[in-house]
Amino acid sequence: MKKKNVFKGSFFLPPQPYILVEELRRELPPEQAEYCITRMPPYSGPGAPPGALDYTAFSTALYGESDL
């Protein structure tokens, strides 16, 4: 199964398992950014800055597990 990009049609895919609200607002149209911000859980892993959102959990919830 091929991993899908949550930001379909966008060049943006974060290299870490979290994303910042500022990044979402910068890279996505306002409506899409707010959709993601309100649905992404906070990231609780190590090394994330305050306010980081869990990109990996969000994309897995939308698309399921990946074989990658």
What tens digit of pLDDT does each residue of 1-39 get? Answer: 344 445 544 445 667 889 999 999 999 999 999 999 999
Query: How many separate domains does the chain show?
Result: 1
Q: pTM of this prediction?
A: 0.68
Residues written for the chain: 68
Q: Which long-range contacts (CB under 8 A, 24 or more apart) does 45-53 make?
A: 45/17, 45/18, 48/16, 48/18, 49/20, 51/20, 51/21, 52/18, 52/19, 52/20, 53/18, 53/19, 53/20, 53/21, 53/24
Give the C-alpha separation, 47 to 67, whole Å.
25
CATH of the domain at 54: 1.10.238.10
Q: In the prediction, which pLDDT does 50 show?
A: 93
* 41 within a domain of the structure (yes/no): yes
